[in-house]
A and B are shown apart, each in its own frame.
Chain A
Amino acid sequence: MIEDIELAKKIIAKRIAREFKNNQLVNLGIGLPTLVANYIPDGVNVILQSENGIIGMGPAPEPGKENPEITNAGSALVTVLPYGCYFDSAMSFALIRGKHVEYTVLGALEVDQEGSLASWIIPGKKVPGMGGAMDLVVGAKNVIISTLHTERGKPKILKKCRLPLTARHVVNMIVSELGVFRVTPGGLALIEINKDSSVDEIRANTEAEFIVSDHLKTMEI
C-alpha cells in the first residue's frame, strides 16, 4: 500500500487528468477532485464548470487581484478565463442534468460494484447535505469517482454501499491510488494497475468482486 496520503491523492489526480479530451466541459468536486485541475496535460484545454454559476473557471487569483464576487462552489476565490461566462443556478443545473457536462469527478464515502455511490451523509455522525452531488452524478455523461482505496485500513470499494446513497447505478469509473476500475454491465473490471501494486494487494483491500481485464494495463501517471 502507498502510505503517503498526499502522494496517493496526487497519483489519483494525475491519472484522472489524463482522461479528458480537448474542450470538454468538466465539473470537479471539492477536495481531491479539485487537485485534478493541476495535472491536465499540456495541449489539452478542459473547460471547467463550477455549479454556483461559472463556465470557464480559471485558477486562484494572484495576490492582490482577488475579487470577492468571483467564487467557486466551495467558496474559494477563483478567476474566470477570457472565454468564460456566468449564469444563475437554474441554468447551472440544467447544464448538469441535461447531459451537457462531459465528466464529473467526485469523492466517495463508499462506492460499490453496481456503480452506486454514497457521499453525503453518515447518519448520526456527519450530515453535510448533498449539495449538488446528486444532480451531478445523475446528469453528467461520465461519472468518475476519485477515492483513496481504503480508509483507516477498511475498503471503500464495496459489494453494496451501506450508507444512504447519493445515486444508484451511475458510476462509470473508479480511480484509486492502486488502480482503475470500470463499472460494466457484467460487473466491476480492473482495467489498470499501479506499477507498485499487485492484483493480490488490490484483492486484499477491496470488498467488491471484480474481474481483471484481459487488457490490464499499467496505470499511466
Chain B
Amino acid sequence: MFDKIISRDDFSGMLKDDMVIMVGGFLGCGTPETLIDIIIASAAKNLTLICNDTSFVDRGVGRLVASRQAAKVITSHIGTNPETGRQMVDGTLAVELVPQGTLVERVRCAGAGLGGVLTPTGVGTVVEEGKQKITVDGHEYLLELPLRADLAIISGSTVDKAGNVVYNATTRNFNPLMAMAAPVVVVEAKEVVEIGQIMPELVMTPSPLVTHIFKSEKR
C-alpha cells in the first residue's frame, strides 16, 4: 500500500547542487545523522541550510558546515560551531541570523499556507532592517516571510511504514514544522514499525507529509 522506504542510493540521487535543505535538530539532538553522512559522501555543494543552530563541528548539521558544502545558512545560533564563524569571516559562508521563535514561525507559516507572520520580536533592533512594520491595535510588529525548502530531512523516533511519526523527548524541536515546509520530506527513522503499531492519538507528524522513510544506521 505504501512504498516509502528508501536506500542510501535513492537518497543520494535526490541531492543536487544549490539545493535549499531544512535540517531538523537542536544542537544535534533530533538530527538525521545518517542522511547527513550521505550528503557529505555525495559532495553536493553550494547548499542553503535552514536549521535552528549550526550545532558542533562534529555533530548534526554542523558537519555540513565543516565539510564546506554550504554557501548559506539561515539559523538562530552559530556560537557552538567555530567553523561557521570562521567561514562567515572568510566570506565563504553567508549567515542569516534569525531569532529562534521567528525562524520556527517562518517555517511553520510556509507549511501552513500563510503569507507570513507578524511578530513583536526584533522591533527596535537590527532584525527589523529592511522589513515591513505593521501596527495592530497600537502595537508594532515585523512582517516575517515564509521559509520553504526543496528538501527537508528530519529525525523520527518511531515511524510506521505509512510515514506517521512519533518523536521521543526533546528530539521533536523543529522536525514536525520542517515536515510541512518542503515538497520532499525524508524522515530518518530510529525504528520503523508496521502500520497500526502507533496509536493514532500519538502521531505527531501525519503520514502524507512524509514522502520517504530512511532507516537510521546509527546505534
B72 shortest CB reach to chain A, Å: 15
> Is B126 touching A97 in the complex (CB atoms < 8 A)?
no
B29 contacts the other chain (CB 8 A): yes
Give a binary string over B65-78; 1 marks a CB under 8 Å from any A CB, 0 the rest.
00000000001111
- When chains A and B are docked, how far (Å) is the Cα of A54 from the Cα of B101? 15
> Is B76 touching A130 in the complex (CB atoms < 8 A)?
yes
> Is B168 touching A69 in the complex (CB atoms < 8 A)?
yes
Which residues on B sit within 8 Å (CB–CB) of A93?
Answer: 100-101, 104-105
- Contact residues on B (Cβ < 8 Å of other chain), bracket: 35 or more
Question: How many of chain A's residues have a CB under 8 angstroms from any CB in B?
Answer: 42
Which residues on A sit within 8 Å (CB–CB) of B77?
Answer: 128-131
> Is A90 touching B104 in the complex (CB atoms < 8 A)?
yes
Give a binary string over A64-103; 1 marks a CB under 8 Å from any B CB, 0 the rest.
0001111111110000100000111110110011000000
Of B6-14, B170-178, B191-199, the stretch lying at the interface with chain A is B170-178
- Given contacts A97-B119, A128-B79, A168-B124, whether A88 and B101 have CB atoms under 8 Å apart is no
- When chains A and B are docked, how far (Å) is the Cα of A138 from the Cα of B168? 30
A192 contacts the other chain (CB 8 A): no
**Which of B26, B29, B75, B123 sits near A129, CB closer than 8 Å?**
B75
Of A9-17, A144-152, A159-167, A210-218, the stretch lying at the interface with chain B is A159-167
Give the number of A-B contacts (CB < 8 Å): 139
- When chains A and B are docked, how far (Å) is the Cα of A165 from the Cα of B127? 9
- When chains A and B are docked, how far (Å) is the Cα of A53 from the Cα of B121? 19
B88 contacts the other chain (CB 8 A): yes
Whose C-beta in chain B lies nearest to the C-beta of A93? B101
> Is B121 touching A138 in the complex (CB atoms < 8 A)?
yes
> Is B169 touching A131 in the complex (CB atoms < 8 A)?
no
B125 contacts the other chain (CB 8 A): yes
Q: Helix, strand, loop or mixed for chain B's interface?
A: mixed
**Which of A88, A116, A127 sits near B173, CB closer than 8 Å?**
A88
B36 contacts the other chain (CB 8 A): no
> Is B125 touching A88 in the complex (CB atoms < 8 A)?
no
**Which of A68, A71, A96, A139 sits near B26, CB closer than 8 Å?**
A71
Which residues on B sit within 8 Å (CB–CB) of A96?
Answer: 101
Within 8 A of B (CB), among A94-140: 96-97, 116, 127-135, 138-139
- Given contacts A69-B29, A89-B26, whether A130 and B99 have CB atoms under 8 Å apart is yes
- When chains A and B are docked, how far (Å) is the Cα of A164 from the Cα of B99? 14
B206 shortest CB reach to chain A, Å: 14
B122 contacts the other chain (CB 8 A): yes
Q: Which residue among B78, B121, B126 has the maximum number of chain A CB atoms within 10 Å of its CB?
A: B121
> Is B78 touching A89 in the complex (CB atoms < 8 A)?
no
**Which of A80, A130, A165 sits near B124, CB closer than 8 Å?**
A165
B14 shortest CB reach to chain A, Å: 25
A29 shortest CB reach to chain B, Å: 13
- When chains A and B are docked, how far (Å) is the Cα of A22 from the Cα of B79? 34
B159 shortest CB reach to chain A, Å: 15
A142 contacts the other chain (CB 8 A): no
Which residues on A sit within 8 Å (CB–CB) of B108?
Answer: 90
> Is B104 touching A52 in the complex (CB atoms < 8 A)?
no
A51 contacts the other chain (CB 8 A): yes
- Given contacts A127-B85, A129-B78, whether A134 and B122 have CB atoms under 8 Å apart is yes
- Given contacts A93-B101, A128-B79, A129-B76, whether A87 and B169 have CB atoms under 8 Å apart is no
Which residues on B sit within 8 Å (CB–CB) of A69?
Answer: 29-30, 157, 168-171
> Is B52 touching A89 in the complex (CB atoms < 8 A)?
yes
In the complex, besides A69-B157, A134-B125, 4 extra interface pairs with C-beta distance below 8 angstroms are: A67-B169, A127-B79, A129-B79, A132-B101
Q: Which residues of B contact A (CB under 8 A)?
A: 26-30, 52-53, 75-80, 85, 88, 95, 97, 99-102, 104-105, 108, 119-127, 157, 167-177, 204
Q: A-B pairs with the 8 shortest C-beta distances?
A: A128-B79, A93-B101, A168-B124, A135-B101, A75-B27, A129-B77, A134-B99, A132-B100
